[in-house]
Structure 1
């Protein structure tokens, strides 16, 4: 049987699933990722000739595909948030970034190093890889449309979207620190200086600046166009184009492309973030959101296959307990602590803290670090990260929509 035609068939089925699954399972109140996970496992079981893991992921292919999914998800998040939130409204997601994420990384590092007996670089890598809330797999419970100044969500959806938009870029410095450590016997003064000046200050500042400038320039240019000319722009491709331009330029200048893409999305409507902003159908946002959904669908099928292929074969009882602890206890507890003194009520604080979904971003960081660092115990790392993602998909996949429905009522 011709493998090419089989791939075309799978692509067609995947596209159809991306279109119909959210509608078909809406009344069941669980994530569309659950049936996709099962479908991927089934395709592997019947030996469908696709590039399955054997048993862990192929580094280069996984790196690039997960990278693509994440940057598109970050653009979607940025476009939905825009510049419609005040500094006071940004303080809650910033608390998740400045308190929850560092504390969570500290917990992961200490357990990995002192209880699971991983070396320093591996422990730090796991801490950085597992820290961010994923902008892709959490998209179902994030903001569902472009916000406006007059009518905007400031609760669970907004906080999760803003956190996911920023924490991917802010976890990257610690991935680089783990890479530096893996190449050295110890981190000396020079390594710390290089990390702080280049990997933290320079990369964060330049990535943010590039994204803001690109978004601002696009917004300014479209504002100058007459309505007649603006209607002639093929808007469906604009967000995708801005994503690639922003990410490509930021990476060429050795900064953080993740931050750049998110800030491009934030500033893309700089000249329109007033009370009259249109929040109905937006071809710019609609197309890239559908692209994101298609890529997530495809990724989930391969993740389901990877579980069947044996990516979890290296899990031990201690690492299983560790993964469950991170998803079910560490993130919810630390998130709740960081949001303690905010204007959010107890229920919303619990929901935001619990819904710290782990996913595709972790896979990108892991494969990036393995490609550029010198780490050992790779099979165990792959298994732990995959298990954390699987637990998150299952737990949050069955509970997130029910939680959100409770607050809607």
Structure 2
């Protein structure tokens, strides 16, 4: 009976976290495209729901992660403590992220979960907390958004210089291919690392082939979407806007797919962690069911409350246009790739960063580059920074309280 109850609670919390992922993190792949006017919010949310669900269904079953994130040495914890702690961590994180989403504030679901794990860990076994990992995570809170600001700043000027010059059709074809190839390369290498755990040689082979195919198909799709100048003619401003807008739409789909594939583990970990403590790792059949449930939850979260955070990220931080949106989107992708993939193959582990933090940092960067500091809404940015600074401490306290209550109600 107890085992059935644990499984049932795990599935409910899995759905809760999946809904939170879709509701709060839908802004990450969509904010630049929506804010620039490349696509309406309604269409962007629908595309997010479709491609995030596809990523979760097709690749989510292969990602089996517990929620501990290396913050605590879970092997040394008693079974009952780990189960109750997992429930406290997920519930605390879910409640905080839901509150942030309701207020329209972007926050990091991953960092909320980390705060939840740290909270019950400090109560259950403070000696088992891996403080080195905690300090690395806190460092990433500062480094990733600042680095995203700098990268976005540089990309804005590079793209502006390119689009200001008269060009031939072939030049735009080459640019489209290079940008989509780079995006596909980053997305597929992250998937090869996090989902399939391939070696560097295997990852490069799969990634190069996939990026070549995606870049080629995407380039032809983009140039079929609008009337490009004939060979030998020059592009005009309307052509520039169309090109940038379509590049943003393709980037939205790529990013949403990668989000569904990689971040599904934030939801399924709510089930995987307690069940591993009881009966070992779930079977592939169970992971497929969890991926379907999680994908459904993410899609529903994006479709129902996704607009709340998208509205803040897209319109209330700075004024975006196709040029700034394009620079912000690719800056975000580059920063995520640089922090998660490159260190993994160089030193054996990726630096945990928040895609939310890098996305907002990139938007701030293009706002400063295009209009100076006056172009950034300091009130909104201040609220976002306050939310980020409160995420881990608030969830730590809430998780500790919930863990204490669980232990009183159901002694382990």
Which TM-score band (shorter chain)?
A: under 0.3
- Structure number with the bigger relative contact order (C-alpha 8 A, sep ≥ 6) is 2
Structure with higher helix content: 2
